[in-house]
Every structure is written in structure tokens, then in C-alpha cells.
């Protein structure tokens, strides 16, 4: 008897969907309403624009994304609102700067009064709406308005775990806090598992299962989606097959649809397939040497370079998956009436004695994220060099679908898709995990990009870092090596005043009168 694996099943499902689609394609295309285009967000977690060959990275990490960009709009200066998943994703989904949406803590949620600012609610029921996040944090964020999601896949979908029955679907956000952060987490955090019997059994089962997953194709281990609550082993091959299958099914349905795929790779742990393990080895590339930052943990440069190599290999491997996916979507007609938004929630950095994201660092590698948008029928590349923010994604989506925006949003319609370029626009990013979501922001690192300059403000870090402000000219010094704060005091003062005015305004609702 031949073995029929889960992967084979996914492939068969994909093929069957294409088959079904082929017969319905004419009907579907006839029914396609260009005023209601489909929107597909493909988001890679922890994917820094600074590691794409498309944006000038010396390593050829992303030949397939580069090819996709040739018939898409490429945003060269796109920034995330935050430097970790919850904060960055909430900015994208709400169109708001973190100091307003307030999902600023690692496990955080969007403030109740702003929850309705999201693509699922605002696109409305005339769209079929799908959500899939391998990372449980965005799953939790969207769980705040689960009732507006037509198909809500669990983080374990397309993973090596067998599908388990879903519990607490109608209280997804709070149940997720209770279960994955408290009662039955697998690892991480600063506390033991809260449930002594079921929590223990779950932890033991999941860790043993993850540990048993071995494949000669993955000598460094199977990729795992992991945060405090989870440990989900998965293969990118299966995830992309699943993504294709979902999209072809939506397409076959004929209704306009919105789908958001928050994919975990290239997030840590970097575990590329064996055919990528030697890539970039001894290729002569040496990243710029940067001084150890006083706030960092002081990791050695050799270690950082090793981590960077693994990260780049992971990117190269998923670029291959992306390269397989796009032509298949094209052939199956999915792209004909769809905007494909390819982006990230935040970046990753390997410098100044630190590796990763979600720390107090707000340097370019962790905030500068890719944004490539393919519009239906677009055949030529368009390059946008204006500064843009991931808070612009939601207003842009609403604009192209003819839906109403809300006055709460900070984001604007993207240039190239109907929006205007505003040279004087400041782009704000914030990390403030040490603040209450319900209070004044006192301790935070805030970055403000404006024109060629970038100001980084360290608020409340006087004890550990004497310097409260750093100022860089990003166009002249993209590696942020030359801090101008002592020399260009006029620019520093003007940007500082502007940022503090914005912050003061943002803090107003939280001040006790």
C-alpha cells in the first residue's frame, strides 16, 4: 500500500481546486466585478527589507520576489509601526500608530474603541474574508472581531500537527490569552504553566511531538512557529500548498474575497532546508561593523554574522516557494482580479550586539519592511520612493474597494494607488512594551522618519542609556553609523519638538484631568 501523506493530500486538494476552478473560470471571470477586486495579503513575519536583493542587499536572497516586482509597485521606503509582531501587525490592520491602537505589549490587544478599524469589518459581508496566521499573536488580534471572519484557520493549519478540534472559537482573543499565555503554554514567559494537569499533558505531548519530527532534508531541525504559547512544527512546502489551495477555492467561489496570510518564515528559529544550508558561505559579504549599543546584550559579531547567514538562507528558501506560488496563481486566474500585497510585520536585525527584534532597537533593519503590490492587469514595474507606513495598508485597501474609511486612522492611501506624495509626512514607529496600554506612554523608543532624516528617541531610559536622542541622515548614511545629534542640533531640535508634540497629543486621552 502506498503511503499517502498529508502533503500529498494538500497537493491533491490544490490540484482538485484548480480542476474545479478551470471549469468555473469563465463563469467566475464573467462575474468578477472590477470595482470589487480581491485582496490577498501575503505577509512574512520578521522580514527585513534590508535583506532583499530587490532593495539592494548584496546577497541574491530573493530572485523570485525580484521577478514579481517587475510587474508590481515597489515601495522603497516602507516602515512598520512597531518592531515586533503584535505592534506592527496591529498598525497594519488598524491603520493607526501604536500609541493610538495600543497593542503595544507582546501579548497585547487593540483598544476596544478602535477594534472596528480593521479590514474584515470594514470590507463587510460582500467580501468573503479569510484569516490565517501561523503566529498566534496576529491570530489573537483578528480574534477580537472573529465574527467578521468567514474562514478563520487556526495557527496549526498546514502544519505537521494533526488538525485538532477548535474550542472557544467565539471568544478567540481572550480564550487565547487564557489558554496559550497562561493555562496551557508550551514554553517561554516568566511563569510556569497555570494548569497542572491538562497544561502539563499538553506541554509534554506537543514538545515530544515536535522533538520527534525529523527529516533528512532539514538537518538543523524542522521549522517551528513558536512563541510563548506555541511550538508548531511545519514545512514551508505544505504551508504554500495550503495557501494555494485556499486561494483557488476562494476564486472558484466567484465572490470577491479578502485573504490575509501571516506566514511565520523567515522568523527565528532559522531552519532552512539542506539544499540551502551552504548558500552564501564564504561569499565575501561582510556586513558593516557597528558599535555595541549600551542597551544591547553584547552578542559577538561572529555570532551575529552566523545568525545573519542562517536568516538569509531561510529567506532564499521561502523565496523559492514564493516563486512557485505566483505563477500557479497566475495560471489559475487568481491574479486577474486580485491585488496581491506582499509585505512584512517588522524586520530583523543582526547588529550592535543584538540579534532579532522586539528589543529597544529601532534601527532600519527592524523597521524598514518590504512592500510590493501587484494590481490586477499590471504588467510594468512602478517604483515609489516616498516614505510610507504600514498604517497606509488599510486606507489603501478601503480606497481600492470603494469602501468608507474612518476618521480614526493615521494611515493614508498609498502613492501609486491613488494617494498623494507628501514630502513632509513624518513616519512614526514605536516600541513601548513597558507601558500600560491604558496609560500615558512614558517609557518607549520612538523612531520618526521625515525626509532624509530619522530621529530615534529613547524615553525613560536615562538610567541605562545616557543619550536620549539619535539622529541619522538615512539617505547619506543608510547603515546609521554617523549619529548627527551632537552636530546637527537645528534638525534635532525641530524633529524632537515635532515628535514630542505628536506624543503629547497621543497621550492626552490617557492623562487624568
Partner 1 sequence: MKLLKLISERMPDSKNILAVYAFIVTLVYSWTLFTSFYKLPSWLFYLSIGQILSVYAYAFSFDLLESLIALTVILLLDFTVFLFLKNKEEFQSRSMILAGILLGTSMLRLALFQNYEDITAFLSGELLWWAIAIPLGLVLAVFAPRIKLVRTIFEGFAERATVFVYIYIPLSLISLVVVLIRNIN
Nearer to partner 1, 110 or 334 (CB): 110
Nearer to partner 1, 80 or 180 (CB): 180
Q: Are 231 and 102 in contact (CB under 8 A)?
A: no
Candidates 8, 211, 283, 497; binder of partner 1 (CB under 8 A) is: 211
Nearer to partner 1, 186 or 252 (CB): 186
Q: Minimum distance from CB of 215 to partner 1 (Å)?
A: 18
Q: Are 10 and 246 in contact (CB under 8 A)?
A: no
* Under rule CB under 8 A, residue 226 binds partner 1: yes
Candidates 60, 187, 213, 253; binder of partner 1 (CB under 8 A) is: 187
Grid coordinates of 456? 530615534
Rounded Cα distance, 221 and 271, in Å: 6
Nearer to partner 1, 57 or 230 (CB): 230
Q: Minimum distance from CB of 223 to partner 1 (Å)?
A: 15
Alpha carbon 28 to its chain centroid, in Å, reads 31
Rg value, the chain, Cα: 22
Phi then psi for residue 39, to 5 deg, are -130, 125
Phi then psi for residue 230, to 5 deg, are -130, 160
The runs of H, that is alpha helices, within 102-149 are 119-123, 136-143
Letters for 72-111 (x = contact with partner 1 by CB under 8 A, - = none) are: ------------------------------xxxx-xxx--
Nearer to partner 1, 268 or 361 (CB): 268
* Under rule CB under 8 A, residue 1 binds partner 1: no
Rounded Cα distance, 451 and 483, in Å: 16
Nearer to partner 1, 107 or 319 (CB): 107
Candidates 1, 112, 288, 490; binder of partner 1 (CB under 8 A) is: 112
* Under rule CB under 8 A, residue 192 binds partner 1: yes
Q: Minimum distance from CB of 34 to partner 1 (Å)?
A: 35
Tell me if residue 204 falls in helix, strand or coil: helix
Q: Minimum distance from CB of 115 to partner 1 (Å)?
A: 12
Tell me which DSSP letter residue 119 carries: H
Number of helices (H), then strands (E), belonging to the chain: the values are 13, 16
Nearer to partner 1, 15 or 183 (CB): 183
Nearer to partner 1, 66 or 107 (CB): 107
Nearer to partner 1, 179 or 243 (CB): 179
Q: Minimum distance from CB of 63 to partner 1 (Å)?
A: 33
* Under rule CB under 8 A, residue 260 binds partner 1: no
Which of the stretches 167-175, 234-242, 281-289, 476-484 binds partner 1 when contact is defined by CB under 8 A?
167-175
Tell me if residue 344 falls in helix, strand or coil: strand
Rounded Cα distance, 506 and 394, in Å: 20
* Under rule CB under 8 A, residue 292 binds partner 1: no
Q: Are 507 and 99 in contact (CB under 8 A)?
A: yes
- Cell numbers 517587475 correspond to 70
Nearer to partner 1, 125 or 493 (CB): 125
Which of the stretches 93-101, 176-184, 272-280, 502-510 binds partner 1 when contact is defined by CB under 8 A?
176-184
* Under rule CB under 8 A, residue 460 binds partner 1: no
Rounded Cα distance, 441 and 508, in Å: 10
Q: Minimum distance from CB of 242 to partner 1 (Å)?
A: 26
Supply angle C-alpha 354, 356, 357, rounded to 5: 105
Rounded Cα distance, 270 and 106, in Å: 21
Candidates 437, 440, 474, 494; binder of partner 1 (CB under 8 A) is: 437
Number of residues that bind partner 1 (CB under 8 A): 44
Give the residue among 243, 256, 246 at the shortest CA–CA distance from 17: 246
Rounded Cα distance, 368 and 389, in Å: 9
* Under rule CB under 8 A, residue 170 binds partner 1: yes
* Under rule CB under 8 A, residue 179 binds partner 1: yes
Class of residue 270 by CB neighbours under 10 A (exposed 0-12, middle 13-18, buried 19+): buried
Q: Could you tell me the CA-to-CA distances from 58 to 48, 67, 337, 378 in Å, in that order?
A: 14, 16, 34, 28
* Under rule CB under 8 A, residue 29 binds partner 1: no
* Under rule CB under 8 A, residue 27 binds partner 1: no
Rounded Cα distance, 315 and 257, in Å: 28
Candidates 22, 178, 277, 474; binder of partner 1 (CB under 8 A) is: 178
**SS3 per-residue string spanning 163-198:** CCCCCCHHHHHHHHHHHHHHHCCCCCCCCCCCCCCH
Nearer to partner 1, 104 or 252 (CB): 104
Candidates 37, 138, 199, 353; binder of partner 1 (CB under 8 A) is: 199
Name the residues that contact partner 1, by CB under 8 A. 102-105, 107-109, 112, 168-171, 174-175, 177-179, 181-183, 187-200, 203-204, 207-208, 211, 226, 435-438
Amino acid at each position: 500500500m502506498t503511503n499517502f501523506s498529508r502533503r500529498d493530500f494538500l497537493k491533491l486538494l490544490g490540484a482538485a481546486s484548480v480542476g474545479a476552478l478551470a471549469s468555473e473560470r469563465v463563469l467566475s471571470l464573467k462575474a468578477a466585478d472590477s470595482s470589487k477586486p480581491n485582496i490577498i495579503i501575503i505577509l512574512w513575519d520578521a522580514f527585513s527589507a534590508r535583506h532583499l536583493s530587490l532593495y539592494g542587499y548584496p546577497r541574491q536572497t530573493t530572485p523570485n520576489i525580484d521577478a514579481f516586482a517587475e510587474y508590481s509597485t515597489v515601495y522603497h521606503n516602507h516602515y512598520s509601526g512597531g518592531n515586533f509582531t503584535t505592534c506592527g501587525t496591529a498598525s497594519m490592520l488598524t491603520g493607526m500608530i501604536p500609541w493610538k491602537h495600543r497593542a503595544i505589549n507582546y501579548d497585547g490587544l487593540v483598544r476596544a474603541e478602535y477594534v472596528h478599524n480593521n479590514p474584515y469589518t470594514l470590507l463587510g459581508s460582500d467580501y468573503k474574508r479569510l484569516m490565517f496566521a501561523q503566529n498566534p499573536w496576529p491570530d489573537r488580534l483578528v480574534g477580537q472581531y472573529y465574527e467578521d471572519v468567514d474562514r478563520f484557520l487556526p495557527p496549526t493549519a498546514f502544519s505537521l500537527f494533526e488538525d485538532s478540534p477548535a474550542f472557544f472559537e467565539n471568544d478567540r482573543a481572550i480564550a487565547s490569552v487564557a489558554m496559550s499565555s497562561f493555562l496551557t503554554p508550551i514554553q517561554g514567559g516568566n511563569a510556569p504553566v497555570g494548569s497542572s494537569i491538562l497544561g502539563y499533558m499538553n506541554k509534554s505531548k506537543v514538545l515530544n511531538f515536535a522533538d520527534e519530527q525529523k527529516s533528512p532534508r532539514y538537518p538543523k531541525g524542522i521549522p517551528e512557529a513558536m512563541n510563548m504559547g506555541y511550538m508548531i512544527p511545519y514545512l514551508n512546502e505544505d504551508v504554500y500548498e495550503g495557501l494555494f489551495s485556499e486561494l483557488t477555492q476562494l476564486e472558484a467561489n466567484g465572490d470577491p474575497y479578502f485573504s490575509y496570510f501571516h506566514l511565520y518564515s523567515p522568523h527565528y528559529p532559522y531552519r532552512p532546508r539542506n539544499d540551502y544550508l551552504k548558500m552564501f558561505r564564504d561569499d565575501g559579504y561582510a556586513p558593516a561593523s557597528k558599535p555595541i549599543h549600551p542597551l544591547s546584550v553584547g552578542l559577538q559579531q561572529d555570532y551575529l554574522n552566523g545568525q545573519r547567514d542562517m536568516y538569509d538562507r531561510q529567506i532564499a528558501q521561502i523565496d523559492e516557494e514564493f516563486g512557485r506560488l505566483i505563477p500557479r496563481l497566475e495560471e489559475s486566474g487568481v491574479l486577474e482580479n486580485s491585488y496581491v500585497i506582499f509585505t512584512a510585520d517588522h524586520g530583523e536585525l543582526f547588529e550592535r550586539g543584538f540579534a532579532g527584534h522586539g528589543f529597544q532597537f529601532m534601527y532600519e533593519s527592524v523597521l524598514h519592511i518590504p512592500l510590493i503590490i501587484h494590481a490586477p492587469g499590471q504588467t510594468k514595474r512602478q517604483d515609489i520612493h516616498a516614505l510610507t507606513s504600514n498604517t497606509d495598508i488599510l486606507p489603501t485597501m478601503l480606497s481600492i474597494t470603494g469602501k468608507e474609511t474612518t476618521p480614526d486612522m493615521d494611515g493614508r492611501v498609498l502613492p501609486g494607488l491613488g494617494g498623494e506624495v507628501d514630502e513632509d509626512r513624518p513616519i512614526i514607529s514605536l516600541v513601548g512594551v513597558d507601558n500600560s496600554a491604558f496609560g500615558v506612554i512614558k517609557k518607549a523608543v520612538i523612531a520618526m522618519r521625515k525626509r532624509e532624516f530619522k530621529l530615534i528617541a529613547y524615553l525613560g531610559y536615562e538610567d541605562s542609556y545616557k543619550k536620549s536622542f539619535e539622529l541619522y541622515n538615512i539617505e547619506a548614511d543608510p547603515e546609521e553609523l554617523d549619529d548627527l545629534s551632537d552636530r546637527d542640533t537645528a534638525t534635532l531640535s525641530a524633529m524632537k519638538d515635532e515628535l514630542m508634540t505628536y506624543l503629547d497629543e497621543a497621550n492626552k486621552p490617557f492623562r487624568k484631568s
